[in-house]
Amino acid sequence: MNQHPQDPNIWGLRNLSDEKWVITLADGTIKDVEPGQNVTLAMGTEIAFGKVRGEIRLQGLLLNRFRGRWVSGR
């Protein structure tokens, strides 16, 4: 994970593999993420890492901005 260089509120995931990833955004838009490129971590984004797929979700965790740590949201 890394922060956007101009906006520290935006986080991304860099493709450090030798293969392209294919992402599907929440609105259905499909894009390629070539090696070395980043994908913004946004709710509902699906990422195909070759044979493995993942989805960006928030499940039971909230960022406690005052203490800068993850806490349970349940």
* DSSP one-letter code for 9: T
pLDDT of amino acid 51: 86
pLDDT average, residue stretch 5-22: 91
pTM of the predicted model over 0.75: no
CB atoms closer than 10 angstroms to residue 15: 20
Nearest C-alpha neighbor of 56 from the set 24, 15, 14, 9:
24
The mean of the pLDDT values for the chain is 81
Q: Which domain holds residue 49?
A: 2-72
Q: How many domains does the chain have?
A: 1
Of 1 and 58, more confident: 1
pLDDT average, residue stretch 56-63: 60
| Strands (E) located in 15-68 | 21-24, 30-33, 38-40, 46-49, 52-55, 61-64
